[in-house]
Amino acid sequence: MVDVTLSEEEQVEELKKWWKENGKSVIAGVVLGLGAVFGWQYWNQHQQQVAGQASMLFEQMSQSLAAKNNEIASKQAEIIASEFQGSAYDTFASLTLARVKLEQGDTAAARALLKQVEQKGSSQSLQQIARLHLARILISEGDAEGAAAVVANAKDDSFRGEFSALKGDIALARGDREGARSAYLEALATDVGNTAVIRMKLEDLAVAEGS
């Protein structure tokens, strides 16, 4: 920046010249740097505040559900979905509300909520859970084709066993016993959660074929 071989006066003149040419950019850099620091701090504080509000609302919704105040819980879930759309709290609230709607017999509302999570859930795992519940509802309603379409969108991940079991249920609903057996065996081979239920279904298939 300054040539140290120059005299003191020459160094001052060189410094003035350098500052005239570069001073604005230095100030701009400092301002931008400070802006980035304070902007990042503000963003972090804002995010923490938002997360705190969402957490509080979700806790209130959980308390309402525990107290069987389903109508209040539904309204609280709607607020979370409106104000914190796309967040994990939004996804959990939708899944919870879907269960409430299903218990109330409102399968249409439950399906809509699960479909929403399937498409826009905050994580792939939660999307997979939504698909599982949605497909099971459709099977219970006799819509094997609709359930098959949901399962077709499933990712090949740690939920593979559960979706294999669903494929067995879908095949059985279609009258395809061989397809059902193959899918149930695949479910057992890929660490399905409730192996006892799958083995029972295989036993029922064997009895039906032997009768």
Q: Does residue 63 lie within any of the structural domains?
A: yes
166 with 141, same domain: the answer is no
Per DSSP, the three-state class of 69 is: coil
Q: Does residue 38 lie within any of the structural domains?
A: no
Q: How far apart are the first and last CA of the chain?
A: 96
163 with 150, same domain: the answer is no
59 with 146, same domain: the answer is yes
Sign of dihedral through CA atoms 151, 155, 156, 162? Answer: negative
Q: Does residue 14 lie within any of the structural domains?
A: no
Beta carbons within 10 angstroms of residue 101's beta carbon: 21
Q: Does residue 7 lie within any of the structural domains?
A: no
Residue where one domain finishes, among candidates 108, 132, 155: 155
Q: Does residue 84 lie within any of the structural domains?
A: yes
The CATH number for 62's domain is 1.25.40
Q: Are 91 and 121 in contact (CB under 8 A)?
A: yes
Q: Which residues span the domain enclosing 130? A: 55-155
**Element housing 128 (H / E):** helix 124-140
101 with 168, same domain: the answer is no
Q: Does residue 65 lie within any of the structural domains?
A: yes
Q: Which of 62-66, 112-116, 146-150 has the lowest mean pLDDT?
A: 62-66
Number of domains in the chain: 2
Beta carbons within 10 angstroms of residue 187's beta carbon: 26
Q: Write out pLDDT tens, residues 16-64.
A: 565 566 555 555 555 455 554 444 453 345 345 545 677 788 888 888 8
Q: Write out pLDDT tens, residues 155-211.
A: 888 899 999 999 999 999 999 999 999 999 999 999 888 899 999 999 999 888 765
188 with 164, same domain: the answer is yes
Residue 86's pLDDT is what? 74
Q: Does residue 82 lie within any of the structural domains?
A: yes
143 with 201, same domain: the answer is no
65 with 118, same domain: the answer is yes
Residue where one domain finishes, among candidates 109, 134, 155: 155
